[in-house]
């Protein structure tokens, strides 16, 4: 193995969140580098990082590296250090680099599960993958004998992760009456069923959960499954988000990969209802892409790929900002790892009712002006934002 192969292999394992712990030692420069660096995975503000603890005798320094930056870091460290002892889930590696950076690796199996931060291990799933869940069987995620189908593994991880976010949000929801929840753009409704199953069947909450989608046949099929399973608090409706009017107060609005501006429609509805919690994982984003024509952005926009990513990131940043302006405390957090789905940003907004501070107002105005863009959500919320952004 050469150094580049080592970098590729370690990057892949680290990005798959398989790391349990590591110790890096034998620096090439004894004067410039820390004698030892310890690695461990940590979650900071909802984002998975590898923490590097540089040990200089009694003194320590910490650095947290995101999975996006990890390849560069591994490349640097394999230049600077000669010994890597790494424990990954199921396999421990002892890596030695020679003076000329030839690599030798010895590997031994271990019994260790992934660190608790990793979401791809059985014991960390909210829905036990070894148990037969009739709704997952009916939805074609699990076989009758309880095996998660290989092509549904990513979806299974996504719904488990989403449930974790819902669990974290429970403290913001009322406890004195049934919870009213809407899943907009529910599609085949894996998440809708899983959320109902978790909240009602597993946790005993009274829940009235509605899945709404444009697709009549899919919705009818879901309604039939809910009836068969006697999920009495779970209903499905055919309809367009923008036309949907709730007959009662809605506590939580969720979306998972609702297409393009369907996410904005859902956020707009949630705000108008004063929903206490919004959990929304956006999908493809085309709307801002067609509007970004500010000359100051040419260096980015001339590359289609960059423009697309920037439009998407700008859209989510604006969504978060606008939600803050109308009384929410909003964060953009990593949903699942990038390997699972590139659509991996989750908008988490808790209603506080607080008036926005002057800085949030000013920076939002400046950003919208700089982009020369009129985002869909700003239009959806024009009444609510009228005084704030005037
Ligand atoms: C990519 S699918 C995601 C489905 C599901 N949430 C999931 O994660 O498996 C997006 C869904 O949003 C629905 N959708 C898009 N625009 C909509 C709208 N305006 N009103 C209701 N549903 C909409 C589509 O019909 C589609 O089923």
Is 115 contained in some domain?
Answer: no
Domain of 378: which CATH number?
3.40.50.150
Instruction: Check if the beta carbon of residue 195 is closer than 8 Å to that of residue 251.
Output: no
Is 114 contained in some domain?
Answer: no
Is 117 contained in some domain?
Answer: no
Return the structure tokens found at 305.
């790929």
Instruction: Assess whether 232 and 267 both reside in one domain.
Output: yes
Instruction: Assess whether 294 and 244 both reside in one domain.
Output: yes
10's CB contacts (< 8 A; 6+ apart) are 74, 78, 84, 86
Give residue 127 CA to ligand 1 midpoint distance, Å: 23
389's CB contacts (< 8 A; 6+ apart) are 325, 361, 364, 365, 378
* Rounded Cα distance, 335 and 255, in Å: 12
Instruction: Assess whether 80 and 44 both reside in one domain.
Output: yes
Q: Where in 187-316 does DSSP place strands (E)?
A: 207-213, 234-238, 252-258, 277-282
Atom 12, ligand 1: residue with shortest CA distance: 185
Return the structure tokens found at 26.
């034998």
Range of the domain at 76: 3-109
* Rounded Cα distance, 350 and 348, in Å: 7
Instruction: Assess whether 205 and 76 both reside in one domain.
Output: no
Instruction: Assess whether 126 and 88 both reside in one domain.
Output: no
- Ligand 1 atom with the shortest distance to the CA of 215: 25
- The response to whether residue 186 sits with its C-beta less than 6 Å from ligand 1 reads yes
Instruction: Assess whether 301 and 331 both reside in one domain.
Output: yes
Q: Which residues pair with 86 in a beta bridge?
A: 22, 93
């976010």: which residue's tokens?
165
**Straight-line distance from the first to the last Cα atom of the chain, in angstroms, rounded to the nearest whole number:** 62
Instruction: Assess whether 102 and 132 both reside in one domain.
Output: no
- The response to whether residue 192 sits with its C-beta less than 6 Å from ligand 1 reads no
How many domains does the chain fold into?
2
Give residue 280 CA to ligand 1 midpoint distance, Å: 12
* Rounded Cα distance, 240 and 253, in Å: 15
Per-residue pLDDT of the chain (390 residues; tens, 9 = 90+): 899 999 999 999 999 999 999 999 999 998 888 999 999 998 766 688 898 988 887 666 778 899 999 999 999 999 999 999 999 999 999 999 999 999 999 999 988 876 655 433 444 788 988 888 999 999 999 999 889 999 999 899 999 999 999 999 999 999 889 999 999 999 999 999 999 999 988 888 899 999 999 999 999 999 999 999 999 999 999 999 999 988 888 999 999 999 889 999 999 999 999 999 999 999 877 788 889 888 889 999 999 999 999 999 999 999 999 999 999 999 999 988 777 777 889 999 999 999 999 999 999 999 999 998 899 999 999 999 998 888
Domain boundary (53, 80, 109) is at: 109
181, 185, 377: which to mutate for ligand 1, most atoms within 8 A of CB?
185
Instruction: Assess whether 166 and 260 both reside in one domain.
Output: yes
């Amino acid at each position: 193995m050469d150094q580049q192969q080592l970098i590729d292999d370690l990057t892949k394992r680290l990005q798959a969140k398989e790391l349990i712990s590591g110790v890096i030692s034998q620096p090439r420069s004894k004067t410039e580098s820390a004698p030892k660096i310890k690695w461990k995975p940590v979650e900071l503000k909802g984002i998975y990082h590898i923490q590097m603890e540089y040990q200089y005798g009694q003194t320590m320094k910490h650095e947290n590296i995101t999975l996006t930056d990890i390849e560069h870091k591994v490349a640097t460290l394999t230049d600077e250090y000669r010994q890597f002892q790494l424990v990954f889930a199921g396999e421990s590696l002892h890596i030695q680099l020679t003076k000329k950076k030839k690599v030798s690796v010895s590997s031994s199996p271990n019994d260790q599960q992934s660190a608790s931060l990793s979401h791809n291990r059985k014991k960390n799933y909210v829905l036990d993958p070894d148990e037969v869940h009739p709704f997952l069987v009916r939805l074609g995620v699990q076989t009758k004998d309880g095996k998660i189908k290989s092509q549904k593994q990513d979806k299974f991880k996504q719904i488990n992760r989403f449930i974790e976010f819902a669990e974290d949000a429970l403290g913001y929801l009322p406890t004195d009456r049934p919870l009213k929840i809407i899943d907009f753009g529910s599609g085949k409704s894996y998440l809708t069923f899983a959320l109902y199953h978790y909240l009602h069947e597993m946790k005993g909450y009274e829940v009235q959960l509605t899945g709404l989608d444009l697709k009549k046949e899919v919705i009818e099929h879901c309604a039939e499954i809910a009836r068969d399973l006697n999920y009495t608090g779970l209903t499905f409706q055919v309809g367009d988000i923008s036309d949907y009017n709730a007959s009662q107060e809605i506590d939580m609005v969720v979306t998972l990969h609702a297409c393009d501006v369907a996410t904005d429609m859902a956020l707009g509805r949630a705000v108008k209802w004063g929903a206490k919690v919004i959990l929304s994982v956006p999908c493809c984003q085309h709307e801002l892409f067609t509007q970004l024509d500010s000359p100051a952005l040419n260096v980015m926009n001339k590359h289609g790929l960059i423009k697309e990513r920037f439009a998407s990131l700008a859209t989510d940043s604006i969504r978060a900002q606008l939600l803050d302006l109308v009384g929410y405390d909003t964060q953009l957090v990593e949903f699942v790892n990038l390997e699972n789905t590139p659509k991996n940003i989750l908008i988490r907004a808790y209603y506080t009712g607080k008036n926005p501070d002057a800085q949030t107002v000013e920076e939002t105005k400046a950003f919208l002006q700089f982009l020369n863009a009129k985002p869909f959500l700003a239009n959806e919320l024009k009444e609510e934002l009228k005084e704030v952004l005037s």
